[in-house]
Amino acid sequence: MAERLSALKTAIKPCHRGGPGYKTPLDAMKHGPREKLVYLPCIQPPHLKKVKPDYLATVDIDPESPTFCKVIHRLMMPYLEDELHHSGWNTCSSCHDDCSKSRDKLVLPALNSDRIYIIDVSNCREPKFHKIVEPVDVHKMTGLGAPHTSHCLASGEIMISCIGDKEGSNSKSGFILLDGEDFSIKENWEKSLITMGYDFWYQPRHNVMVSTEWGAPRAWRNGFKPEEYKSGLYGHSIHVWDWTTHKKLQTLDLGDEGAIPLEVRFLHDPDATMGYVGCALGSSVFRFFKTPKGDWEAEKVIQIPPKKVTGWALPDMPGLITDIVISLDDRFLYFSNWLHGDMRQYDITDKRKPKLVGQVFIGGSIQSDGPVKVTRDEERDSQPDPVYINGKRLEGAPQMLQLSLDGKRIYVTNSLFSAWDQQFYPEICKKGGWMVQIDVDTVKGGLTLNDKFLVDFGDEPFGPVMGHEIRYPGGDCTSDIWI
């Protein structure tokens, strides 16, 4: 262990003024500035994908600004049908001690086109294109497709997980390495075969990476069909990797209770040997951890019970956990139930027994005035009422989350993936998505919808769009990894 840490430090040049990000998670939490801008991809609804491009929106979220809650810049993509999704940085806090590095490029993969955009944000209010990695190069050099999660590495490289292969099947999946200077494709990172991918998080001090599974792109690109899960087109496992050799050490099968494990988060403490994964279809959260023997195990620590319903596609409606975030002090875990329509806050002081301390409903499929009637609910006595801000009814439900560095605010968008949006919440494809702010009680726990904050993507000049993942220019709780 000491030798690995020494090698990592030797590879990074000594620096007095510091590189990108923050020295430690608690340093980021204590000294990081309040967020004033966010970047997020805006996705065209399915009926407009062939005529209008997606774009990267820059949104002013500074309460003191005259353009508060407004989109102040739109970087239109040069191609159609990209389906922009999750972004990452060229450098992050893993390169904090390297003064030659700067967090000035946003790496923006496209799920449907397999294209990778490199966006220059050196002028933070007016991003521009730096480079485009074309699908033909991704396919030829890696054989992979559906690029998803981007993380910078302490080596200066960038790693991107891919969900499937270039044909959109689940014959193989893996990870692309990009050069951190010219953003050329270097090689595949993986030295072992996996058939499905999605998200990943690494913990260098323990020489480990954990990755998750969504499903075959040819399945989810056309919406969700329950029978395709039963036929093996969706995953229910997480994979444990040796960070040095790039070989898979273990596959932990979570079973049906852990069906479709999506977002994975180690604790932010770089010495930690555990983390959590949110399982969408299973509506559960599993804790994964290193055992005294040195291998890895997983246990379910949260289960959201389904609701018995009428007027919906199935008699049982799962919560569908689609995003999770952990506060930088590793005290709170947050996640969204995209079908039920609520966002939750858990105190994870006891890591094996998360305690629900905050909950807020924003839309969802069980609103009191909707067509769905709940006939049995283990958690509530009544269906939640619809929510309005500035006279706008909030259609859809909480999906992507981003927590402020100090842990006091959560920004929430409602789009999952355009084909799934169309299937489950067609109104947001017609009227556009939204971004809202949730105020957080970081002492006792608690969540409150801020009724003075609304970014309405239905009011965009080129027509309604849906907003997805949120990034701050200075880094955030889901893009920074410490070594």
pLDDT of residue 95: 83
Helical residues (DSSP H) of 166-289, grouped into ranges: 217-220, 226-230
User: Which regions of the chain are under pLDDT 50?
Assistant: 1-2, 4-16
Structural contact between residues 128 and 144, judged by C-beta atoms closer than 8 angstroms:
no
Name the DSSP class of 207: T
Amino acid of residue 247: K
DSSP H or E stretch at residue 288: strand 284-290
pLDDT of residue 5: 46
pLDDT of residue 2: 47
Structural contact between residues 152 and 91, judged by C-beta atoms closer than 8 angstroms:
yes
pLDDT of residue 81: 98
Structural contact between residues 317 and 306, judged by C-beta atoms closer than 8 angstroms:
yes
pLDDT of residue 193: 95
Count of other CB atoms within 10 angstroms of residue 246: 16
**What distance in Å separates the CA atoms of residue 370 and residue 347, rounded to the nearest whole number?**
32
pLDDT of residue 13: 42
pLDDT of residue 83: 98
**What distance in Å separates the CA atoms of residue 131 and residue 120, rounded to the nearest whole number?**
9
pLDDT of residue 9: 43
pTM of the full predicted structure?
0.95
pLDDT of residue 424: 98
Name the DSSP class of 203: E
**What distance in Å separates the CA atoms of residue 192 and residue 136, rounded to the nearest whole number?**
23
Tokens at residue 81, please? Answer: 């049908």
**What distance in Å separates the CA atoms of residue 440 and residue 453, rounded to the nearest whole number?**
14
pLDDT of residue 12: 39
Name the DSSP class of 31: H
Residue given tokens 């093996």 in the structure block: 232
Q: What SS3 class is residue 271?
A: coil
pLDDT of residue 6: 47
